Amino acid sequence: MTLPGDRPQHRARKRFGQNFLHDPHFIDRIVDAIDPQPGQAIVEIGPGQAALTRALIARAGHITAIEIDRDLAAGLRTQFASAQLQLIEGDALDFDWSTLPGPLRIVGNLPYNISSPLLFALVPIADRVIDQYFMLQKEVVERMVAPPGSRTYGRLSVMLQFRYRMTRLFDVPRGAFRPAPQVTSSIVRMQPLPADQLPNVDRAAFGRVVAAAFGQRRKTLRNALGTLMAADAIAAVGVDPKARAETLTVDHFVALSRQLPSPPDPSSGDARS
C-alpha cells in the first residue's frame, strides 16, 4: 500500500543493518505499548521509512528522530513538517544525548549489528530517561531479561538489570519486515531504576568484575577473578569461589565489586600520574 508522501522504494543497506517494519498490526501493538502522549520528549532511533514515526507523531504530535542514512533522512524531511519531526542526521552511537531536553522516552527498531554497543551507550543517561522501547533480535532480548542460572544469563543481563527494570513484551515475526530478517524480533521495555534503588558501588569496578567473571564462562570465580581479588575476598561476601558467574545475582556482583580497592583520589597527594 502506498501512503501519501511515500518516496520510491529504498533498497535496504546491509552495512546499516536495515530491515523495515511494515506490518500495520505490529506497528499498532508497538505504539500501543509505548502509549506516546502530547508534550512528551520522544526520541526514535533509526526511523527508516517512518512506519513507527508516522504512528508516534499521530499520537504525540511531535517527536525527535536520529537517522544515519542520508537518503532516508531526505525522505523523512519531505514527509513531515518541522513542527512534527525534529530530524537529527547522524549516528546514534556518537550522538551527544545531553543536547536533548529530558525526561526522554527512547524508542527504536535497532539494527542487530549495533544493538549491544548502543544499549551500553545509553546507560550513562539513564537518569534522564523515563523508559526505552526497543525492537531487537529475540535472542538478544532473551539475554537482556535472563534470570541467574539460565543459559542466556551473562554480562549483558547483569549490566542492564543493574540499571533498568527489564520486561520482554512480545515477539515480532520475520514477515513483518521488508526485507525479512533471518531471525525473529522481540520488543523489550527498559525502565531506569530510581536513584534510591541503585546500589552504592563504583560503576567502573562493577563493570570490571562482571566482564572478568563472564570472560570465560566455564571458569570458576576463583580463576576468572584471580587478577582482581583473592578467593578469600570472594568468600568474604558469601559467594563460593568455586561457583561460576552465571549462578550469581546482580547483588552478588555488587558485593564482589566492593571488594576491589578504591581508585586513588586525584585530588590527594597519593595520586600518581
How many H-runs (helices) and E-runs (strands) does the chain carry?
A: 10, 9
Dihedrals φ, ψ of 171, to 5°? -90, 155
pLDDT tens column, 61-92? 999 999 999 999 999 999 999 999 999 999 99
Q: What pLDDT was estimated at residue 253? A: 98
d(CA 99, CA 95): 9
Average pLDDT, the chain: 89
Query: How confident is the model over 164-169, as a mean pLDDT?
Result: 98
pTM score above 0.85: yes
Domain with CATH 3.40.50.150 in the chain: 14-197
Q: Which CATH number fits domain 14-197: 3.40.50.150, 3.30.465.10, 3.40.50.720, 3.20.20.120?
A: 3.40.50.150
Query: How confident is the model over 23-32, as a mean pLDDT?
Result: 95
- The Cβ of residue 109 has, within 10 Å, a number of other Cβ atoms equal to 24
How far, in Å, are 51, 196, 226, 245 from residue 221 at the CA level? 46, 29, 8, 7
Domain with CATH 1.10.8.100 in the chain: 203-257
Lowest-pLDDT choice from 13-22, 105-114, 238-247: 13-22
Q: What pLDDT was estimated at residue 248? A: 97
For 203-257, CATH number? 1.10.8.100
Q: What pLDDT was estimated at residue 102? A: 83
Residue 17 pLDDT class (50, 70, 90 cuts): very low
d(CA 255, CA 259): 7
255: CB partners within 8 A, 6+ apart = 237, 238, 239
pLDDT at residue 262 tops 90: no
